[in-house]
Homo-oligomer: A and B are copies of this chain.
Amino acid sequence: MSDATQRTEISNLGEFGLIKRLSEKITVTQPTTIKGIGDDAAVLAKRDKLTVVTTDMLVEGVHFDLMYVPLKHLGYKSIVVNLSDVCAMNAVPTQVTVAIALSNRFSLEAVEELYDGMRAACKRYNVDLVGGDTTTSLKGLIICVTAIGEVEDGKQVYRSTANEGDLLCVTGDLGSAYLGLQMLEREKKIFLEDPNIKPDLENQQYIIGRQLKPEPRTDIVKWFADNNVLPTSMIDISDGLSSETLHLCDQSNLGCDVLEEKIPIADEARQQAFKFNFDPTLCALSGGEDYELLFTIKPEDEEKFKGSLDVTIIGKMTAKGSEPTLITRKGNRHKLIAQGWNAFGNEPTAS
């Protein structure tokens, strides 16, 4: 869990001791943060923008496995998944609060690793950690992050406002995070069967990195502002392309045509999918955890997207009543089905 050799029991510090220890390293830099950790609540300045708020809970054994997820990466990712939701509103993240519950299996050193990762993400994305809660769990680690961001009035982007004929776009590439997870799961299985076998993760840095250390697309939100582009609808891809596309269709009351050949998949992911005997497209459609942005634009904005920006137009929104559809390379039309990861159901079946 931690390769730190020292082990300090949290019970020796107590809750206030732990909070004090963790807060010492935390600095605030956002102009809108008036008061951070250390009082009954954080205090944020007046803003001439709208405020967005989002919350996500990560549960050990459900959302992460500490056998192969380093605590520092987990801390980083727990912040990122929330920043990604802020980006999906076309907003800029400014503050987070963090609540954690942990069993006595976790030492102070382990918690510090977790917070090191959180602080790294906060620093990288210029976000202040302004408050939270630390408490005991009966089992495992639970992390709940709330992220706050800001967006100019009128520039917030919802899921429900796409129009017929709008182009459907996606940032980056899809499916890698899911394949990274499959790699890590496979290595875990092998390790459990024989701890002496060295993990074979060579050449898999990309897909494993996509699983362990996703990044929120704050750069795209900035690009929208710089280039005066306002998406007509937007969502972030946490559950897989299918599931998120269906949300946009459902909430905008439209259908869509998605072209399989346009779905961006990294070479590393495609190769690994073939090795696993998975369909790469299915990994992109159902895999989830890529934390890319899925959005629609007016057709007349298409020109602006030509160039070096890693945005791909994968389809278009179709009339109300028409079905969300995947058009295969061979030209067949399939109804788009959500097989995304479901917190209350089964894992996606990728083969």
Interface residues of A (CB under 8 A from B): 10-11, 13-16, 18, 34-35, 38-57, 59-63, 85-86, 88-89, 91, 95, 97-101, 130-140, 142, 144, 146-149, 151, 153, 156, 158-160, 234-236, 251, 342-345
Contact between chains at A137 and B62 (CB < 8 Å): yes
- Least Cβ distance of A349 to chain B in Å? 15
Q: Which residues of B contact A48 (CB under 8 A)?
A: 46
Contact between chains at B101 and A53 (CB < 8 Å): no
- Least Cβ distance of A58 to chain B in Å? 8
- Least Cβ distance of A190 to chain B in Å? 24
> Can you name 21 A-B pairs with beta carbons within 8 Å?
A10-B344, A11-B344, A11-B345, A14-B342, A35-B158, A40-B159, A41-B52, A41-B54, A43-B50, A46-B47, A46-B49, A46-B153, A51-B51, A53-B97, A53-B130, A55-B97, A55-B144, A59-B142, A136-B343, A137-B142, A138-B139
Q: How many copies does the complex hold?
A: 2
Q: Which residues of B contact A137 (CB under 8 A)?
A: 59, 62, 142
Contact between chains at A53 and B39 (CB < 8 Å): no
- Least Cβ distance of A138 to chain B in Å? 4
Contact between chains at B35 and A156 (CB < 8 Å): yes
Name which of A40, A42, A138 has the most chain B CB atoms within 10 A of its CB. Answer: A40
Q: Which residues of B contact A149 (CB under 8 A)?
A: 41
- Least Cβ distance of A144 to chain B in Å? 4
The answer for the CA separation of A42 and B100 in the assembled complex, in Å, is 22
Given A43-B89, A158-B35; A59-B136 close (CB under 8 Å): yes
Contact between chains at B89 and A138 (CB < 8 Å): no
- Least Cβ distance of A103 to chain B in Å? 10
Contact between chains at A57 and B100 (CB < 8 Å): yes
Contact with A89, one of B41, B97, B158, B235 (Cβ below 8 angstroms): B41
The answer for the CA separation of A345 and B131 in the assembled complex, in Å, is 22
Q: Lowest 5 A-B CB distances belong to which pairs? A: A41-B54, A144-B144, A40-B88, A57-B99, A41-B52
Q: Which residues of B contact A95 (CB under 8 A)?
A: 53
- Least Cβ distance of A274 to chain B in Å? 31
